[in-house]
């Protein structure tokens, strides 16, 4: 008889998910020298304008009647009645009548401030196209504010309300016509900016539109005026003015920039000195020259250049003057699938302008595209965050952080998967022991990994991995018990491959099987469900082998008893007669045989083969008959 073992595989294991870095679509390409964001910005403004029109609520501007009547200004002789009547009609909301009176009055007194306010007030309430005229009427009061505080406040309030109402309409009109009639659209928005110079958003959009047509000088003038006069979006229009100036300046300083990039600081300074006075005295050129002077005084001119000692915005302008063209080239390379070339270009130029936010953004995006050096990419993205106009910097940094986590988490996940693959299709005790060591080592890494991840997804994956490793170690512990018991069983059954020849051999084998059965019973009390089923199968197998041993032992014992009886009979020449003639000797021997036979009969009642049982019963009957 031989024992047959089996392979012990794990229960169905749900794989641990790898951490996937989010996709990042590179769209931020606007450097200081690029004005391609016109269409994108126009779409944003169009959405805002549509929302503003949809949610428009009227501002209550009608002042108390007494406030209108109390405006004491020099009316001029002979026209007092016109203004008094206009005041009264405006107070009674007879705006059309008041407007006629005011037009007549202002024809004689065009500079009268209260008359202008009242005319704009009536036009506002009459609505329609007259509201643009109302804004035009109030423009002199903005340029020459009234001395009277009350009138000054009311005029300012009315201008703000008119701007609030009319600006979204102008943006919508520009959006709808700029592609079909760009010149007409620009002319209309330019005329409105003249009436409402406080609207920095429109100055910004107008300057962008002018730059889009290639008229950079005119765009610069628009942006500079907007930066001086704007109440809204002033920082954006001022930043655009700086960009336009840099774009105009760039061709003139290109020789100096080229010399700087080759490390020839002295030649760069000489090139700046050749500039026309208008360019040479601009702030950014003065800053560039001072920076070159600082570099010229260094003892080690081969070392990377230090950051210029300038405020952030001026340093950014200087960096843009030096490296904006390279950034545009790198962005184009990235857009056309040549990220390797872009990386080499950016790495070289970034060494010259390490604090340039936009170039740092490009380099971070390039490294992310190449999945290379996540720590450097994260540092560059953090530098890019310093510039609020780089709208994708925050999104990129989040993507890089996920990528950093993936670079930490995924190798550990892969190690877990590789470990589990090593036992695919079945295991033995040696392979299980090796797997347990690998998973134990992996479990020692997980606490450190858990402290290094911060995203919700990364935390969840590490938690799942910890749970999986713990579960697998429990399964391995159970499987090792099962495997060890199977190996013990297989070794035992292999030892009797030649069969059992004596009852003593059968007893030894039976005792060994009983010990295995006891160990299975003990292990079954703590085993998980899957291992419990395997132990139950082994217990059934051991029980079957134990029954076979009992059957074989019974057969051996029956054969021995029959042989003893036959040997006793063979010693007599006349067996039956001699047995009766020598009762003491024969009966004693027969008594021993029948006693042993009955013992075997009692002990092997269920385990004996039917043929052996029949033979044993015949032997007992024969001996019993002889002894009577």
Which residues in the chain show pLDDT less than 70? Answer: 1-78, 301, 426-427, 498, 527-530, 571-584, 586, 604-607, 628
Q: Which two tokens stand for residue 392?
A: 């994708």
Using DSSP's 3-state secondary structure scheme, residue 232 falls into strand
**Predicted local confidence at residue 51, as pLDDT:** 61
CA distances to 54, 170, 172, 180 from 176, rounded to whole Å, are 17, 10, 6, 8
> Under 8 Å CB-to-CB from 166, ≥6 apart: which residues?
131, 132, 135, 192, 196
What does the DSSP assignment read for 346-412?
HHHHHTTSTT-HHHHHHHHHHHHHHT--HHHHHHHHHHHTT-TT-TTHHHHHHHHHHHHHHHHHHHH
**Predicted local confidence at residue 54, as pLDDT:** 44
- Interatomic CA distance for residues 384 and 332, integer angstroms: 19
**Predicted local confidence at residue 132, as pLDDT:** 93
**Predicted local confidence at residue 59, as pLDDT:** 47
**Predicted local confidence at residue 7, as pLDDT:** 42
pTM of the entire structure?
0.59
**Predicted local confidence at residue 134, as pLDDT:** 93
**Predicted local confidence at residue 74, as pLDDT:** 45
Tell me how long the chain is. 628
Q: Which two tokens stand for residue 478?
A: 């159970």
- Interatomic CA distance for residues 295 and 299, integer angstroms: 9
Using DSSP's 3-state secondary structure scheme, residue 199 falls into strand
């Amino acid at each position: 008889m031989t024992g047959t073992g089996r392979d012990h595989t794990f229960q169905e294991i749900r794989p641990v998910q790898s951490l996937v870095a989010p996709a990042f679509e590179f769209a931020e390409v606007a450097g200081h020298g690029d004005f391609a964001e016109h269409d994108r910005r126009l779409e944003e403004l169009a959405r805002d304008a549509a929302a503003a029109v949809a949610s428009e609520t009227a501002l209550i501007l009608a002042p108390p009647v007494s406030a209108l009547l109390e405006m004491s200004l020099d009316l001029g002789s002979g026209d007092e009645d016109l203004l008094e009547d206009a005041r009264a009609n405006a107070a009674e909301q007879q705006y059309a009548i008041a407007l006629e009176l005011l037009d007549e009055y202002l024809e004689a007194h065009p500079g009268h401030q209260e008359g202008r306010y009242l005319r704009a007030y009536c036009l506002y309430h009459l609505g329609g196209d007259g509201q643009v005229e109302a804004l035009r009427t109030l423009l002199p009061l903005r340029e020459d504010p009234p001395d009277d505080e009350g009138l000054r406040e009311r005029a300012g309030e009315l201008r703000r309300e008119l701007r609030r109402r009319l600006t979204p309409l102008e943006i919508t009109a520009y959006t709808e016509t700029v592609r079909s009639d760009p010149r007409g659209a620009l002319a209309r928005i330019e005329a409105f900016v003249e009436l409402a110079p406080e609207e920095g958003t429109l100055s910004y959009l107008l300057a962008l539109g002018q730059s889009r047509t290639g008229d950079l000088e005119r765009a610069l003038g628009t942006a500079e005026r907007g930066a001086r006069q704007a109440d809204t979006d002033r920082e954006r229009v001022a930043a655009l003015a700086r960009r336009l100036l840099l774009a105009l300046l760039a061709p003139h300083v290109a020789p100096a920039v080229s010399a700087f990039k080759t490390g020839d600081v002295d030649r760069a300074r000489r090139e700046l000195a050749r500039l026309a006075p208008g360019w040479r005295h601009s702030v950014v050129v003065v800053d560039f020259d001072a920076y070159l002077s600082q570099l010229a005084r260094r003892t080690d001119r081969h070392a990377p250049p230090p950051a210029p000692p300038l405020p952030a915005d001026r340093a950014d302008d200087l960096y843009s003057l030096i490296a904006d063209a390279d950034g545009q080239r790198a962005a184009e390379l990235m857009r056309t699938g040549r990220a390797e070339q872009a990386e080499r270009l950016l790495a070289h130029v970034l060494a010259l302008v390490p604090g340039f936010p936009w170039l740092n953004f490009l380099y971070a995006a390039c490294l992310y595209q190449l999945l290379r050096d996540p720590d450097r990419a994260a540092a560059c993205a953090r530098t890019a965050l310093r510039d609020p106009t780089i709208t994708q910097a925050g999104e990129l940094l989040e993507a890089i952080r996920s990528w950093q986590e993936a670079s930490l988490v995924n190798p550990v996940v892969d190690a877990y998967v590789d470990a589990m693959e090593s036992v695919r299709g079945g295991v033995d005790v040696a392979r299980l022991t090796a797997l347990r060591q690998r998973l134990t080592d992996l479990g020692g890494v997980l606490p450190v990994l858990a402290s290094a991840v911060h995203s919700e997804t990364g935390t969840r994956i590490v938690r799942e991995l910890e749970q999986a490793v713990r579960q697998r170690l429990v399964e391995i512990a159970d499987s090792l018990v099962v495997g060890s018991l199977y190996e013990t069983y297989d070794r035992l059954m292999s030892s009797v491959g030649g069969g059992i020849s004596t009852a003593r051999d059968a007893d030894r084998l039976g005792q060994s099987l009983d010990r295995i059965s006891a160990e299975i019973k003990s292990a079954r009390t703590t085993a998980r469900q899957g291992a419990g089923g395997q132990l139950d199968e082994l217990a059934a197998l051991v029980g079957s082998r134990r029954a076979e041993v009992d059957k074989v032992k019974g057969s051996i014992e029956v054969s021995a008893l029959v042989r003893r009886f036959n040997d006793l009979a063979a010693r007599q020449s006349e067996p039956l007669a001699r047995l009766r003639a020598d009762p003491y000797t024969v009966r004693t021997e027969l008594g021993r045989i029948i006693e042993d036979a009955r013992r075997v009969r009692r002990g092997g009642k269920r385990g004996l083969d039917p043929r052996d049982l029949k033979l044993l019963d015949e032997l007992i009957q024969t001996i019993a008959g002889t002894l009577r």
